[in-house]
Every structure is written in C-alpha cells, then in structure tokens.
Amino acid sequence: MTADSGHAESVNEPIGNPTGGLPTPLAETLRYGPFHRALREAIAHRGLSLARLRAHLEQLGVQVGQSTLSYWQRGLRHPEVPRAISTVRALETVLRLPPSSLLDLIGPRTGNTYAPRPVATWPEPAPLLAAFDSVPEAARGNADLEVLSVHDTVQIGMHREQRSITTRLVVRALRQGPDRYLATHNGDEGAPIENAMVRAGEGCRQGRLRREGVSRNLAVEMLFDRRLAAGEEHVFSFTIVDDTGSATPGHHRTFRDSCGSYLVQLSFHRRAMPARCMKQFLASADATPVDVEELVCGLGGVVSAYFADVGPGIAGIAVEWS
C-alpha cells in the first residue's frame, strides 16, 4: 500500500519549467549524479507521490509503470536508452527541472541520440609475465586445467580502495599431472604492486611470484600438494592484499575459456558506500558492455553478480562513486 505525503496538488495543474532556482543539494546532484539519487531528490522536492507523478506523465502522453518509477528512484533499474529518452524528458518537465538535466545522467549526447554512460574503464588483461615462460610446468599448467567455478570476494575500505581479493576456484585436470595454477593480478591506479602480498588458502601454497611495476601486474604460482590425476577435481583458494590504490572502479576477471559459473562479491566499508554498481560482461577489453544490470547493495554493504556459462571475455562489477 502506497501513501501520499507532502503537499497535494491537482492532476490538472499546469506543468512547466520554472525560471526559479533549485535547492543547492538538488542542483549538485543533477550536476554530478547518479541518476537515481537525482530523480529521488527531484520527486521529494516537488512533493509528489509516485502515483501522482505517473498521472502527470500520462497527461503528457507518456505511459510508464509506477513500479518502473520506483525501481528508477531506488537504483534497482536504470532507464534504457534510447527507449526511455521520451520518458526522462517528460520527467524533467513534470518535475520542473532544467532541460536534459536528467538525460545527461543516463548517457552523454551523441548527435540526437544517447549512449549508456560507461561506469568504469578496465585495463587490458594482465599478461603472464615473461619470467614464467621458460618454466615448462608453469607455461603448461593452466592449459591442463578446466576451470569449473570461480568465486571472487573483494573487500573495499573506507577510502574506497580495494583492500583484498580472495579467490576460490574449482578446477578439473584435463590430463594426468597438473600441479599448479598461474594467477595474475592487475592493481588499481596508484597501487605500488611491489607492496602487494599473496596469502595461500586451502588446497595450495605459494610458489614463485613476479611483479611488473609500470603495468601494476603481478603473477604468482599457486602450487597444489600433489599432481592431479586425469579427471580429478580440486578446490583451492588464495588472497591478494593490495590496499594502497585510489578509489576502485570495480573488479573484473578475464576468462580466456568458458567457465561453468562465476560469482563476484564486493563488500563495502559502511563509510564508503557506492552510488551505483553495474554487472557487466565484455567480449574484449575494448568492446561495448553487454549483459548490463544495475545491482542492489544489500544488507551489510555487499553487492553480488553471478554469471553462468561465462567466457571467453571479461566479467565483473563496475562501481560508480558519488
């Protein structure tokens, strides 16, 4: 049941863009976003219930569900462009906002159309470091393993920095003999990769580790306790602590082959909650994101994205800060 609050007004009241200024907090949100917060604050400033807002939109010939408006203002969904452009323009009229103030928050103008605003720019996949190329076991190890499942848990600190990444993998030996997995990591902007640490969890121990400071790349061997038999499955985990970078743009994983499932979870410090989190999949580092979905940051400040039958490509969560 939905209750109306604030000052009531007639559906037949004339609508138009006023010349008066907006409250400073609302003007700032319209300038910097994110969209859902700007929409929510604009609705509150006008004192409209969602039912009455929807009625005003219908006066302008725009049909939109009340549930859709609710999802938009709560950040559970994002307007799809170009389909939602007319609806967002009508919202600007009803809410008496400057032209394009909401549109600019859902995508930059390109001619007469709008494209989705990129939430994050991800680097090229971290290359395997040349120091391992001369080691037959390392060069062959990952090729002898089928990755069945990956679970990444990322801890994000109070300064919005990526503090640690714990990875748990389930692999299957494709043939007799693999005894290690070669993992790579690319640090966030500003992170001195020489300070990053690797901690082995269950099912493995740390082998050789190499770093490349300019690209912020790290490669490490995770050694199993035995050589796997053909068809044998193995579970292991490790944590990379790399907590000196700038505000993280999110976390992604590159899959060079298909993988049965990928779960990535970002856990935010209570004093550094994100403005927006987006599930994204890219076929390559320079491709347009597909399978895009706005995510909800749930209880405890954790946001999760699940990918089934993922890869080849890049999967993860992109973060936008207020």
Cα separation of 85 and 288, whole Å? Answer: 20
Q: What residues pair up with 305 in beta bridges, in sequence order?
A: 264
What are the residue ranges of helices labelled H in the chain? 24-32, 35-46, 50-59, 66-74, 85-94, 103-106, 136-141
Burial class of residue 215 in the structure, from the number of CB atoms within 10 Å of its CB (0-12 exposed, 13-18 middle, 19+ buried) = middle
d(CA 216, CA 12) in angstroms, rounded, equals: 60
Say which DSSP state 226 is in. Answer: S
Residue pLDDT, tens place only, 261-308: 999 999 999 889 998 899 999 888 777 777 778 888 877 899 999 999
Mean pLDDT of 118-137: 46
Cα dihedral: 187, 190, 194, 197 (round 10): -50
Half-sphere exposure of 93 (CA within 13 A, CB side): 18
Asked if residue 125 has a cis previous peptide bond (ω within 30° of 0), the answer is no
- Predicted local distance difference test score (pLDDT) of residue 302: 95
Q: Which of residues 135 and 223 earns the better pLDDT score?
A: 223
* Residue % of the chain over a pLDDT of 90: 43
Question: What is the C-alpha separation between 109 and 87, in angstroms, rounded?
Answer: 16
Mean of per-residue pLDDT scores for the chain = 81
Looking at residue 76, what is its pLDDT?
64
What Å distances lie between residue 91 and 19, 103, 109, CA to CA? Answer: 17, 10, 18
Tell me the domain boundaries of the chain: 24-114, 130-320
Q: Distance between CA atoms of 37 and 49, rounded to whole angstroms?
A: 16
The string of DSSP letters for 146-214 reads: EEEEEEEEEEE-TTS-EEEEEEEEEEEESSS---EEEEEEEPPTT--GGG-EEEE-TT-EEEEEEEETT
pLDDT at residue 114, as a whole number: 40
pTM of the model: 0.62
pLDDT band at 133; cut points 50, 70, 90 = low
161-199 tens-digit pLDDT: 999 999 999 999 999 999 999 998 888 887 788 888 999
Question: Which 3 state secondary structure label does DSSP give 311?
Answer: coil
pLDDT-derived band at 229, boundaries 50, 70, 90: very high
pLDDT of 217 above 60: yes
Instruction: Give yes or no for a contact between 200 and 109, defined as CB atoms under 8 angstroms apart.
Output: no
CATH code for the structural domain at 24-114: 1.10.260.40
C-alpha–C-alpha distance, residues 253 and 259, integer Å: 11
CATH 2.60.40 fits domain 130-320: yes
